[in-house]
Structure 1
Amino acid sequence: MHPTTPAQPFDGSHDREIESLAEFDEVTRDHGTLSHFRVQSVDLTDRTDVLLALDTSAAVFLGCPMTPEAAAKARASGALVFPPVPGLSFDPYRGFVYSPEELFASLDEGYEATPDARTYAWFQRTKADGDIFGSMLRSLHDDAVSDALDELLAGQDVVGVMGGHAMARGTQEYAGAARLGRELARTGLTVATGGGPGAMEAANLGAYAAPFDDGMLAGALDILAKAPGFTPSVTDWAKAAFEVRAGWPDGGPSVGIPTWFYGHEPPNAFAAHLAKYFSNATREDGLLARCTAGVVFLPGAAGTVQEIFDNATPNYYGSRGEPTPMVLVDREHWTRRLPAWPLLQSLARERAMESRIALVDRIEEAPEALKRLRG
């Protein structure tokens, strides 16, 4: 934390964000002021004496529980105090992305009891009734998640793995996607997916398996094959994933970026960091924009086709700088079943992105193709 003096205006720097009680204690101990700081979803009910003693001018408290006395003093000094919103299954001011344990809490009572399922139910209710307060809370939440994701991924080389949700556990395709995620993670890249089931889960599983010997992935695939898909039971599907995590704790990290827009699809439990959004448009654009090391597109349907051209557009126009690599896997799929490749080739012709696209037959060829395109 590096505060400004009270005379300086706030310029949006992350250095003034306080997102945990430990950070709060560090700032107040080392700097003796909260002026111009942004305190995000930190329980301050036991820090009343500190809040009463320190300068809080131009501070902003976002969803921080505190005593009425402390809140009144902060407001009187010129701080903005946004109180917690009662009765929600999510925190709109959160300072961090989600963990699987957080979204799947209470899974033993059935998936319907989890914060993930309850938040989707809230989303459905508030989306249907058109309440502006609900839409405001969703927007606040998604902005907070984007901010947290930016902080999490700062300085990392992120590779996206996109593909369909229908890819079932126990199939050769699923195992191949898992091996792909493992190999990419072992090269030092941060694997990012849409955070859902199918190909997305497989790639996150592979990154989770990266620190272990190869036998771990084989054992995990055997366990997961007992619950091939999230229908008819999300509960059984998710419990199989947590069984793997319990058998091999402390797996490798990766990122999943799912959405409650597709709330019937649960997030997967193998992404250590889950940046879950209400807005699918914000989620889609943010996912692809953060894949600075390129994207591998596995066979998929409409959603994956959309992602190919959502990614191709900034590469075509150069709106995000230099084009990032795009590797499409399965020639038959992308030239005959869903012929996205010929169109992508036509778009790329004589543009900077032309040397950054590739089509490979087999998933095992994707890491080498990505390496070649990255230079």
Structure 2
Amino acid sequence: MMSSRHPEPGIEVESTEELDALLAQGISPRRLRLQDLDLTGYTGLDSRTDLDELVVLGGRLSPSLDAHLRAHGAIVFPDDPDATPVRPYRAHLYTAEELYAGLVDGYAETTDALAYDWYQNSQRHPDVFSALLQAIHDDSISDALAEFVDGHAVVGVMGGHALQRGTAAYAVAARLGFHLAEHGFLVVTGGGPGAMEAANLGAAAYGADQLDAALAIVAEVPSFVPDIGAWADAGMRAKAVLRPVSGQPVPRSLGIPTWFYGHEPPNVFAQGIAKYFSNAIREDWLLAHAAAGVVVLPGAAGTVQEIFQFATRAYYASKTPPPLVIVDSGHWRDTLPVWPLIQALAAGRAMADRVTLVDSVEDAVAYLT
């Protein structure tokens, strides 16, 4: 029997089927963490009294089950749909359809826009309950993100948010995402517009014909300014042509955006969207999960920050860091002279052989493969 100093680990439960299976195995309810489950019609706990320390994280309970759980020592963390437009204890990443629910009535009525408004209000009028819900939400997203990337070779793609659809540079970024996904990588970006969207779009395409068709559709609405709704709608129409020829789709495209930059809407092409309230946590996870490498396209201040966040991790790494591929020597030598400083930092370190500067996305893919 384990001592109280080293209790048995908790088990996260994300479906009622999983809950039934664990109870049938004789797992003690005190080890279970029921995460955002709809238990309004569930009866598997009604006759049990050994519920001391069972943890219920949000979800939906019938009044009778709520009373029964509390009466027998369960720890119930209530969900409060009136306090926030998103569910803080969620067990899965977002989808574009979820974030853009309500788009028919305009972007301002979508889940994404309402969450941004709530976040902004919490910044103007700090409230400990709102801060707690945001922290719980972001921890739930981190957990779901780890599950989503498990078993995949993840490559991060960084680049500017201002890159417009219909441009040659946008098509280049999309081609990068496509070729990385075709080589078996899961392509992760910051989940926003511009180069991030292009890479997610390319990764979600299951053939060159699909890629060309989607690029033609999104070009009808080049930017999310001034109409996010029209921009998102064009994205949804383009997304409809990005389908696997057969079988279940394997994750190829992941976005990690943030409501901290809520004025930049999430793109619809990521098959999983890990949207955070905390930008610091979001940026850390974006780099931490890109274990197969990072490709950096031309960008400005935000992209420069991401380069040096990666460089700092690589500089102090205790083992060989993932590769960093910087694309467009003219941009990164002359326009924003980042490359000379990266070289100076890398000299004599383990990262020295893991950073390179190339002039095409084909060279970037070749370096990583």
User: Which TM class, normalised by the smaller chain length?
Assistant: over 0.9
Matches within 5 A, 1:1-375: 10-12=7-9, 16-31=11-26, 33-48=28-43, 50-53=45-48, 55-87=50-82, 88-209=84-205, 211-212=206-207, 214-250=208-244, 253=251, 254-318=253-317, 321-371=319-369
Moved more, 241-250 or 166-175: 241-250
The aligned amino acid for 1:181 is G
1:225-251 Cα shifts (integer Å, max 9, x gaps):
000010111111111111112234456
Gaps of 5+ in 2: none
Under a length normalisation based on structure 1, what TM-score does the superposition of the two structures give?
0.92
The aligned amino acid for 1:341 is W
CA contact (8 A) 1:41 1:63 kept: yes
Moved more, 43-52 or 350-359: 43-52
Within 1, Cα distance between the matches of 2:309 and 2:21?
42
Within 2, Cα distance between the matches of 1:170 and 1:5?
61
CA contact (8 A) 2:20 2:44 kept: no
- Count of residue pairs brought into register by the alignment: 363
Q: CA deviation at 1:108?
A: 1.2
Aligned pair in 2 of structure 1 residues 157, 248: CA closer, same or farther (>3 Å)? closer
CA contact (8 A) 1:326 1:370 kept: no
Q: CA deviation at 1:294?
A: 0.7
The aligned amino acid for 1:85 is D
Within 1, Cα distance between the matches of 2:97 and 2:170?
23
Please give the secondary structure, in 1, of the residue aligned with 2:157.
strand
Please give the secondary structure, in 2, of the residue aligned with 1:197.
coil
Aligned pair in 2 of structure 1 residues 188, 337: CA closer, same or farther (>3 Å)? same
Within 2, Cα distance between the matches of 1:30 and 1:195?
40
Within 2, Cα distance between the matches of 1:362 and 1:302?
21
Q: CA deviation at 1:32?
A: 6.7
Aligned pair in 2 of structure 1 residues 5, 101: CA closer, same or farther (>3 Å)? farther
Please give the secondary structure, in 2, of the residue aligned with 1:105.
coil
CA contact (8 A) 2:213 2:241 kept: no
Within 2, Cα distance between the matches of 1:37 and 1:94?
16
Within 2, Cα distance between the matches of 1:12 and 1:165?
42
Gaps of 5+ in 1: none
The aligned amino acid for 2:19 is F
Q: CA deviation at 1:106?
A: 1.4
CA contact (8 A) 1:36 1:56 kept: no
CA contact (8 A) 2:81 2:87 kept: no
CA contact (8 A) 1:5 1:35 kept: no
Within 2, Cα distance between the matches of 1:355 and 1:169?
34
Aligned pair in 2 of structure 1 residues 11, 176: CA closer, same or farther (>3 Å)? farther
Within 2, Cα distance between the matches of 1:315 and 1:128?
36
Within 1, Cα distance between the matches of 2:23 and 2:5?
18
Within 1, Cα distance between the matches of 2:316 and 2:44?
55
Aligned pair in 2 of structure 1 residues 199, 144: CA closer, same or farther (>3 Å)? same
When the two chains are superposed, the root-mean-square deviation of aligned CA atoms in Å is 2.0
Within 1, Cα distance between the matches of 2:194 and 2:119?
24
Within 2, Cα distance between the matches of 1:327 and 1:175?
19
Aligned-residue identity in percent: 50
The aligned amino acid for 2:228 is V
The aligned amino acid for 1:93 is Y
Q: CA deviation at 1:279?
A: 0.5
Within 1, Cα distance between the matches of 2:9 and 2:222?
46
Q: CA deviation at 1:75?
A: 2.7
Aligned pair in 2 of structure 1 residues 123, 19: CA closer, same or farther (>3 Å)? same
Q: CA deviation at 1:336?
A: 0.7
